[in-house]
Amino acid sequence: MNRPSVKMFLLCTVIIMVVILPMLIRDPYYLDIMIMVAFNSILALTWRTIMRIGQLSFGHAAFIGIGAYTSALIVMKLGVSFWLALPISGIVSAVISLLIGFTTLRLKGMFFAITTWAFNEIMRSAYLIFKNPFGGATGLYGIPAPYHIYFYGLPLFSFDNKQAYCYLAFLLLSATVLVLLRIENSRMGMLFDAIRVDDNLAESIGISLMRYKCVAFAIACFFAGIAGSFYAHYISFISPYSFELTLSVDAIVFSMVGGLASIMGPLIGAGVLTILSNLLHATGFFKMIIFSIFLVLVVLFLPDGIISVPQRTKMLLARISKKGMD
């Protein structure tokens, strides 16, 4: 079986699992884990998109928060349908990212990281200070669930259970993956890589750094805003404390642990760490100790992320085989 066939087989297998698993799993706890895996995967994927242009962002949570507050406010205050608020939230996040990125993307390294962290804190302070319309420290609660939706020939999708949310979460994740994968395999993706490797060289051959940096930033923030919209209506409550620096750090950790070399890396990292975090709840006090040890081991022995395990295993077996022949 050639490589494209293997990829297609794996893709079909994943799609079948995503469709079947919510039908088989009835326990709300496990459905919630699946939903958070999808949400965290979008988080990690969109952060990686910014990293692809060589920019380290510590303000990713700000754009998730913008999407969440935008969606919640226009649904609650203006009576707009969630299905319209969802794309609007992404667009608002993308537009604000362009306004911020036009100046901050000229910075590099830790200067950009600190600036994005500062923007995140500015947004959190705005949510805290302005009780109207953001709800202040108490936030917004009672955010309505999405209206039910009906597809011809299929059962009614009513969001009074977590199965419907699970399908929606993985639908949004699938859309994010497809768009980012298409970009990665396009000329634009090659330009992003060129900018990340050496932006001075890229500029010298005629690549517009600011144009492509702003495009990558806007695409990442668009999907981050959509994820924020979903999160707000799923949890039905948001506050300034929902979008602290730790959320941005989570996106970084998911991506780094999974591996940045491929789009599969953030998916694997988000899936493994989300599931592991929930499994360790039973350990109580030892949860953070075990979790931290796991992260240290990955950093020490898998610096390229979990996605490098097959390659490293292959290299190890080849070395053992060579020693045996000697």
Condensed to tens digits (0 to 9), the pLDDT of residues 35-91 reads 999 999 999 999 999 999 999 999 999 999 999 999 999 999 999 999 999 999 999
SS3 content of the chain, % helix, strand, coil (to 5): 80, 0, 20
Q: What average pLDDT does the segment 96-105 reach?
A: 92
Give 20-47 as a DSSP string: HHHHH---HHHHHHHHHHHHHHHHHHHH
Per-residue pLDDT, 14: 64
d(CA 100, CA 106): 11
Per-residue pLDDT, 287: 83
Per-residue pLDDT at 150 exceeds 70: no
Q: E strands within the chain?
A: 140-141, 237-238
Q: Which position has the higher pLDDT, 139 or 151?
A: 139
Q: What average pLDDT does the segment 193-208 reach?
A: 88
pLDDT tens digits for range 247-300: 999 999 999 999 988 888 899 999 999 999 988 887 877 888 888 898 889 888
Tokens for 297, please give them. Answer: 């081991």
Cα angle 202, 265, 234; round to 5: 110
CATH 1.10.3470 describes domain 3-325: yes
The three-class DSSP label of residue 136 is: helix
